[in-house]
Structure 1
């Protein structure tokens, strides 16, 4: 089960393959919302994404409960492997075999909504809106389209780990890790100087999420153009260039992957890195000297809001059993069932009030609760900073631009201007 599951490259292919459907479908995605009201009956095909292997009993229990409550409805559960899932959605959509209820992240919902194949739940099920966190509900709004196209399901985020011992050695307060980018930049340079450039604060270059957390406007209000080259974006990249020159950003950051960043943190050559409860368990076994000095804090941001990863349940606008499909998608994502799911795996409910449960607010001394409590706290007002329309190809464009700026091949402004121009070109050409 992958928590973030960003499949944007395949999403671009999905967009392309559905363009022909957009012309003949309901371009606003409404798909006949009025028909979503009515008797809950018929067979609903429910498709999840790589969940059966570990959560078979949980889902079979939910299905049994729903069918008991609605005896005229039956649920047919199918689970698809993670590999090739976007392509499977594309094939089903093009062939008219898209399931009635589909597990999908916002980036996968977008092309289906554009093709008129995702039901507008703002119209069809707006009465349920108040049950969900506002940002979670809004995460399934699509650029340039009115409405919401999936029920928010489970959420995730990640805390930031930091090494208290390295903070002390650098003369930094280990109980006051940086919470803003200005403080991060200041502390990072200080650490590099005190360690004679042997210890870097960070091991990775800024991603689109960093631009969002810094307070950069990533797209225009209509969602038709990228705008992360605005002055604030240039300012962020200029700071990272200074970090790189000072040795405060790891020398291999331009080519580093998440795994290598984690290894450097474990080797204690990097002072801060995002992580999870599983990482804590690894540190405890493999790096006890690091483990005893681990601090946990929110990811640095200037907005006061952490990043939110969202999974949802989309209802097929062309379904012949819309009332039952809407009822079941809501049932799976209601407060009770989301809470039960969260106690089986490290995810977080998208329903209001759930994050105030003692399960998410009280520590018991274990690694799992340390991370769970910290993450749940940050999710209460988190947002999804990654634009729905940002493909993997666009991410590569941004990554290359950042590398050019850090290495001095281009100025931060020129690098970002070029990246935005190319991303906007890709956006227009599909």
Structure 2
């Protein structure tokens, strides 16, 4: 997948397998035993990575084939657009590659259809090599198992405009660290600017409910639960911001790109981002760059949100030992560290984030962001439920919009969103 904050934040299209592909998780047609000889021809599919990283992957494959001379890896790279549809078609047609780059929401229907190998069984010796939160990100409620190796991670801080904070009479050296502080500062900024400067540019998403400490699903993973009292509380606070213009009026239709432009033009005071954005600020808005403040994600749980990519093994591969060995090779500590030094992403392997590259400051903002993000990733979680599809995100967004516009109460809006999401969940099988 294209590596940037926007693409990590963007939602992958929900994958719905035809009924003919449905089955029970872990009942694939291939052997689950990965302990045999590593040999045979396998295919490896990535998600829009060839254009920028062709030399890296060609070298990676060459190193693997050197280590295991009886293997041959054919690399396939698919464009970002239509990737989920391509996987769905391959799954239905029996042409799914042996090793596949997936996100958690893409692996869920494959696991349910019995097409993803259970790595808790097939790759148990490797489990301790990965961060707990990263390994858990490819588990699926209702199924026992882990369905992909965690690969690269990303997270980011909150950027804020020091100048706008100062103009509002706020201490630019003390940005909000709690939701209470955030909402109070946002209301003050809106008042002091006559409603011309908003603090936030996005409506709350499922990740925001998770960070606020709202239970997102029931323990069985059979239904959603974000319409509880705490969820209603969060949406009520956002309604207050919206009414006071502390939440940008265009937030109802905002995208990560449009929100970023609002921050660039100093129409909003805070925006999530990553080290990749600092270079853009420097080039496109040098005046803003001089006033950039960097602070941590706000969370009530003590855990920031992580975005995670994974590498899945097709349960029906004819060469299980080779496929598992290669998926592990792609995601081992050495190769993840090598990849992380080519682009602003982070390894999911335990101990890698203690490398000086992720811990030593050098006085630059870019390094400061990288060090802070690496520290927070050690106990970060992927708040977005793996079963939360694109249609569910749309349902939640539509109901949130109704609440913010005063067409429904926050409680009614969230009850309706949960009802719609539960119905979509049943349709997933």
Question: Could you tell me the TM-score, scaled by structure 2's length?
Answer: 0.95
Aligned to 1:211: 209
Kindly indicate whether the alpha-carbon contact (under 8 Å) linking 2:9 and 2:256 is maintained by their aligned counterparts in 1: no
Query: 2-side partners of 1:126 and 1:107: how far apart?
Result: 22
Aligned to 1:317: 315
How far apart are 1:66 and its partner, in Å?
1.2
Query: 1-side partners of 2:102 and 2:421: how far apart?
Result: 24
For residue 112 of structure 1, the aligned residue among 110, 113, 130 is 110
Cα deviation, 1:234-292, whole Å, max 9, x if unaligned, reads 00000001111122111222222222221221222211011233432232233222111
For residue 167 of structure 2, the aligned residue among 162, 166, 169 is 169
For residue 245 of structure 1, the aligned residue among 236, 243, 246 is 243
Query: 1-side partners of 2:380 and 2:183: how far apart?
Result: 23
Structure 2 counterpart SS, 1:285: helix
How far apart are 1:33 and its partner, in Å?
5.7
Aligned to 2:22: 22
Equivalences for residues 255-266 of structure 1 within 5 A: 255-266=253-264
Kindly indicate whether the alpha-carbon contact (under 8 Å) linking 2:49 and 2:77 is maintained by their aligned counterparts in 1: yes
For residue 137 of structure 2, the aligned residue among 136, 139, 147 is 139
CA gap 1:29/1:217 in 2 versus in 1, 3 angstroms? farther
CA gap 1:9/1:360 in 2 versus in 1, 3 angstroms? closer
Aligned to 2:37: 39
Cα deviation, 1:370-396, whole Å, max 9, x if unaligned, reads 322222122111100111111111111
How far apart are 1:29 and its partner, in Å?
4.5
Structure 2 counterpart SS, 1:388: coil
CA gap 1:226/1:323 in 2 versus in 1, 3 angstroms? same
CA gap 1:407/1:379 in 2 versus in 1, 3 angstroms? same
Question: Could you tell me the TM-score, scaled by structure 1's length?
Answer: 0.95
CA gap 1:183/1:33 in 2 versus in 1, 3 angstroms? farther
Kindly indicate whether the alpha-carbon contact (under 8 Å) linking 1:8 and 1:390 is maintained by their aligned counterparts in 2: no
Structure 2 counterpart SS, 1:35: coil
User: Which sections of structure 1, spanning at least 5 residues, go unmatched?
Assistant: none
Query: 1-side partners of 2:222 and 2:384: how far apart?
Result: 15
User: Which sections of structure 2, spanning at least 5 residues, go unmatched?
Assistant: none
Aligned to 1:402: 400
Aligned to 2:232: 234
How far apart are 1:59 and its partner, in Å?
1.1
1:86 matched to 2:87: no
Cα deviation, 1:76-100, whole Å, max 9, x if unaligned, reads 1111111211111112112211111
Structure 2 counterpart SS, 1:78: strand
1:97 matched to 2:98: no
Aligned to 2:284: 286
Cα deviation, 1:149-204, whole Å, max 9, x if unaligned, reads 10000011121100111112222221221122111111111222222222211111
1:388 matched to 2:389: no
How far apart are 1:104 and its partner, in Å?
0.6
Query: 1-side partners of 2:88 and 2:9: how far apart?
Result: 16
Kindly indicate whether the alpha-carbon contact (under 8 Å) linking 1:136 and 1:152 is maintained by their aligned counterparts in 2: yes
Query: 2-side partners of 1:281 and 1:27: how far apart?
Result: 44
Query: 1-side partners of 2:51 and 2:102: how far apart?
Result: 18
Kindly indicate whether the alpha-carbon contact (under 8 Å) linking 1:7 and 1:86 is maintained by their aligned counterparts in 2: no
Cα deviation, 1:283-321, whole Å, max 9, x if unaligned, reads 223322211110111121111111111111101111110
